[in-house]
């Protein structure tokens, strides 16, 4: 009884001190705009009239949760976004104080710990942006609260970050270690999981099991411990995450969610404004992901990416050329000294996957053939300045930026809504301990499209327990000024052109693997019944279809290069009559030259795809990997059980 009385007194004191400033301000400021708020305001006042109790605390926590979808709808539709966003964040901070006080309540008040794994390969500035976004997210929304320390070095209680090193350059590794220390001092618990430690953890796995899972995490006797690829490096991070759950200060593995993030992504989303694009901390990722895993039967959850497209430039060149041609055609009708007209009042957002030249393969389409370039200059300027800005960024395309077909966040309803998933976004997925068994396989093949391929296999196995939620992350590959200095596999920046040979080849065979798996999944053939003949026959069908599509794509791209060149070289247009634009036009022609280098029939990339010998070598390895998949998974499951038992000892 004494304990209950003490609890009630604490609850009463806490509620009195809190004052609910954010909630009251929301009611006061928006009741006239949002009809439903009057009912919530009445409900709030009725809860406060009741005697202090754990149930009263639960009811208040529930009230905030019920209000959020109403607030979010208004937030993303309103013309006063900035003011509302600050209030939205304050509401979560208030609710978190209530949650921290509550030791009772229903399941949705449980708070999982998160272990975030971030593979990093020679991209220290990308890593800084990612860590900063995690820090800001924790500061602005307060998920899980903050644990103070007598030494003054407190930390966010429910968040742990693991930097999974895959860099080659010593100076980059040193910078990553410095970033781990810097953000630990700011309040994030950051572990640097270095190359030597990865090797040591691999060697702690019994030799027999280690050999069985070598296709998943590499072979320590032969693997160079840098640039191992995203799949192998990410799978290695599972070992560190499990080790962390064995520490005394960490919760049991069943109370942890494992969150996998790429270094060039941030916990923000983009939105369009009159002054250009804006990047905002508008989603409380941890809160909603926690809620979903507490209340739904999910083993793996994934979200999409916004901003820079998450695909290779080798499959975006065709539509980008369409948009460039349209841009110069529009420019040709404008006076060079005229006020820039590439600032639409209402920006047309591209359709989902509009950036992909072969979106129809994924069952997607676009209603528009071209999308307009939207000038990013905010000061008063003319079309000459606009063209300079455009040309200065046109070659960033080869490093991941699409100037005309960025994707944008769209609010589509409550963040508690989920849909069945079919693709893992390798830089944005979350699992329980049980979900760690669903790996991204075939890492040693070094293929693109590993996420969609893995997603189809996982979907065929667990169905709706593999889900997607509208909590995308910002794909910020080209936001910082020095992104070209950072490592990108398969892209070589040469003096006269940019070489995509490796990435192009990995894209084609990644597509071949993906659409072969898609066809196999649709055939209802159990994965245990796969054999060489079934796989060879299926690969042959898909190979023929893809070769034809890629041939068409190559021809179309080259024709568009010719059309753009003819348009650019027309002497009657003002960009050829202005010496101030010589460098700008050189950059545009450099872009065309790089596209032609990679798409020409004599290009290395094209020759590798057309080579019967190379295709058969690749297909043979893919068949072997698919035949071994089930055994690899069984060995991986066995290893996870072994490591989990070890961590509990």
Identify the structural domains of the chain with CATH numbers, from first to last. Answer: 2-108 (no CATH), 110-311+409-481+630-648 (3.90.550), 317-404+490-610 (no CATH)
The model's pLDDT over 211-245, given as tens digits with 9 standing for 90+, comes to: 999 889 888 766 677 888 888 899 999 989 888 88
More confident call, 168 vs 524: 168
**What are the distances in angstroms from CA 528 to CA 124, 452, 629?**
43, 20, 9
First-last CA distance in the chain: 37
Rounded mean pLDDT, 79-99? 94
Rounded mean pLDDT, 504-524? 93
> Which tokens go with 259?
């969150």
> Which tokens go with 397?
């395309």
* Exposure b/e, 496-519, CB count within 10 A at least 16 = b: ebbbbbbbbbbbbbbbbbbbbbbb
Q: Which residues have CB under 8 Å from 535's CB, separation 6+?
A: 516, 520, 623, 626, 627
The DSSP annotation for 163-181 comes to: EEE----HHHHHHHHHHHH
Choose among 245, 128, 141: nearest CA to 183. 128
Whether the per-residue pLDDT at 102 is higher than 60: the answer is yes
DSSP tag of 407? B
Rounded mean pLDDT, 386-414? 93
Q: Where are the alpha helices (DSSP H) in 264-335?
A: 285-295, 317-332
β-strand 466-469 against 300-302: which pairing, if any? parallel
DSSP tag of 52? P
The model's pLDDT over 187-198, given as tens digits with 9 standing for 90+, comes to: 999 999 999 999
Q: What is the pLDDT of residue 376?
A: 87
> Which tokens go with 284?
């409380």
What is the rounded CA–CA span in Å between residue 358 and residue 470?
Answer: 24
Whether the per-residue pLDDT at 286 is higher than 80: the answer is yes
Q: What is the pLDDT of residue 105?
A: 44
SS3 (DSSP) at 217:
helix
Q: What is the pLDDT of residue 4?
A: 65
The model's pLDDT over 620-642, given as tens digits with 9 standing for 90+, comes to: 999 999 999 999 999 999 999 88
What is the rounded CA–CA span in Å between residue 488 and residue 126?
Answer: 12
Choose among 247, 194, 232, 154: nearest CA to 439. 232
E strands, 274-385, where? 276-280, 300-302, 305-307
Rounded mean pLDDT, 451-471? 94
SS3 (DSSP) at 275:
coil
Q: How many Cβ atoms are within 10 Å of 541's Cβ, its own excluded?
A: 12
Q: What is the pLDDT of residue 351?
A: 73
The model's pLDDT over 248-284, given as tens digits with 9 standing for 90+, comes to: 677 788 899 999 999 999 999 999 887 788 999 999 9
* Secondary element (H or E) of residue 461: helix 450-462
What is the rounded CA–CA span in Å between residue 138 and residue 161?
Answer: 12
The model's pLDDT over 162-171, given as tens digits with 9 standing for 90+, comes to: 999 999 999 9
Least confident of 228-237, 295-304, 458-467, 525-534: 228-237
Rounded mean pLDDT, 600-615? 89
What is the rounded CA–CA span in Å between residue 343 and residue 373?
Answer: 9
**What are the distances in angstroms from CA 188 to CA 89, 131, 200?**
19, 9, 25
E strands, 51-152, where? 113-120, 146-147
Q: Where are the alpha helices (DSSP H) in 272-373?
A: 285-295, 317-332
Rounded mean pLDDT, 455-471? 95
The DSSP annotation for 482-534 comes to: TGGGS--TT-EE-SS-EE-HHHHHHHHHHHHHHHHHHHHHHTT--GGG--HHH
Choose among 533, 641, 541, 522: nearest CA to 238. 641
- According to DSSP, the residues that pair with 421 across neighbouring strands are none
Kindly report the average pLDDT of the chain as a whole number.
89
* Exposure b/e, 11-23, CB count within 10 A at least 16 = b: beebbeeeebebb
The half-sphere exposure of 310 on its side-chain side, counting CA atoms within 13 A, is 25
The half-sphere exposure of 327 on its side-chain side, counting CA atoms within 13 A, is 27
Quickly tell me which residue has 């393969």 as its tokens.
Answer: 361
54-77 helix and 81-101 helix, angle to the nearest 10 degrees: 160
Quick one: 361 exposed, middle or buried, by C-beta within 10 A (0-12, 13-18, 19+)?
middle
Whether the per-residue pLDDT at 370 is higher than 70: the answer is yes
What is the rounded CA–CA span in Å between residue 394 and residue 490?
Answer: 19
Q: Which residues have CB under 8 Å from 245's CB, separation 6+?
A: 115, 251, 252, 253, 256, 433, 647
């Amino acid at each position: 009884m004494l304990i209950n009385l003490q609890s009630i007194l604490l609850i009463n004191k806490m509620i009195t001190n809190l004052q609910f400033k954010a909630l009251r301000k929301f009611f006061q400021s928006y009741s006239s705009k949002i009809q439903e708020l009057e009912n919530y305001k009445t409900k709030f006042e009725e809860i406060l009239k009741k005697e202090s109790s754990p149930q009263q605390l639960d009811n208040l926590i529930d009230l905030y949760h019920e209000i959020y979808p109403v607030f979010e709808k208004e937030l993303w539709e309103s013309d006063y976004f900035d003011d509302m966003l600050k209030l939205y964040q304050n509401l979560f901070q208030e609710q978190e104080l209530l949650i921290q006080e509550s030791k009772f309540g229903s399941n949705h008040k449980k708070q999982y710990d998160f272990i975030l794994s971030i593979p990093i390969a020679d991209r220290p500035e990308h890593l800084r942006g990612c860590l900063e976004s995690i820090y800001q997210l924790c500061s602005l929304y307060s998920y899980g609260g903050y644990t103070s320390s007598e030494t003054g070095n407190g930390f966010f209680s429910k968040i742990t970050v693991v930097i999974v090193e895959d860099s080659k350059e010593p100076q980059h590794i040193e910078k990553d270690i410095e970033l781990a220390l810097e953000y630990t001092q700011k309040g994030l618990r950051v572990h640097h999981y270095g190359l030597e430690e990865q090797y040591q953890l691999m060697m702690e796995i019994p030799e027999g099991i280690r050999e069985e899972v070598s296709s998943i995490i590499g072979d320590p006797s032969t693997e160079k411990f840098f640039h191992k690829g995203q799949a192998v490096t990410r799978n290695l991070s599972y070992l560190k995450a499990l080790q962390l759950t064995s520490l005394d200060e960490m919760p049991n593995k069943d109370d942890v969610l494992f969150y996998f993030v790429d270094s060039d992504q941030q916990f923000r989303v983009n939105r369009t404004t009159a002054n250009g694009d804006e990047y905002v901390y508008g989603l409380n990722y941890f809160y909603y992901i926690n809620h979903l895993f507490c209340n739904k039967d999910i083993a793996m959850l994934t979200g999409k990416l916004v901003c820079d497209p998450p695909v290779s430039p080798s499959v975006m060149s065709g539509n980008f050329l369409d948009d460039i041609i349209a841009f110069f055609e529009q420019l040709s009708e404008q006076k060079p000294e005229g006020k820039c007209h590439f600032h639409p009042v209402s920006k047309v957002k591209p359709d989902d996957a509009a950036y992909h030249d072969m979106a129809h393969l994924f069952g997607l389409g676009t209603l528009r053939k071209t999308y307009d370039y939207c000038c990013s200059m905010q000061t008063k300027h003319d079309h000459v300045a606009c063209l300079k800005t455009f040309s200065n960024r046109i070659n960033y395309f080869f490093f991941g930026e699409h100037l005309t077909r960025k994707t944008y966040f769209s609010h589509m309803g409550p963040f508690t809504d989920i849909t069945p998933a079919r693709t893992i976004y390798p830089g944005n997925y979350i699992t329980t301990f049980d979900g760690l068994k669903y790996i991204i396989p075939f890492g040693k093949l070094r293929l693109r499209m590993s996420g969609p391929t893995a997603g189809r296999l996982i979907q065929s196995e667990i169905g709706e327990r593999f889900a997607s939620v509208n909590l995308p992350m910002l794909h910020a590959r080209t936001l910082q000024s020095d992104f070209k200095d950072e490592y990108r596999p398969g892209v070589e920046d040469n003096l006269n052109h940019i070489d995509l040979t490796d990435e192009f080849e990995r894209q084609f065979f990644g597509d071949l693997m993906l659409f072969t798996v898609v066809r196999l999944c649709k055939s209802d053939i159990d994965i245990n019944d796969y054999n060489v003949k079934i796989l060879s026959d299926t690969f042959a069908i898909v190979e023929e279809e893809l070769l034809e599509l890629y041939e068409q794509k190559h021809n179309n791209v080259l024709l568009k290069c010719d059309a753009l060149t003819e348009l650019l070289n027309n002497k009657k247009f003002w960009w050829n009559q202005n010496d101030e634009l010589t460098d700008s036009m050189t950059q545009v022609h450099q872009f065309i030259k790089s596209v032609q280098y990679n798409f020409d029939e004599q290009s290395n990339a094209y020759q590798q795809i057309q080579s019967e010998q190379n295709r058969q070598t690749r297909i043979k390895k893919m068949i072997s990997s698919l035949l071994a998949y089930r055994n690899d998974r069984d060995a991986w499951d066995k290893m996870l059980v072994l490591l989990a038992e070890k961590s509990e000892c």
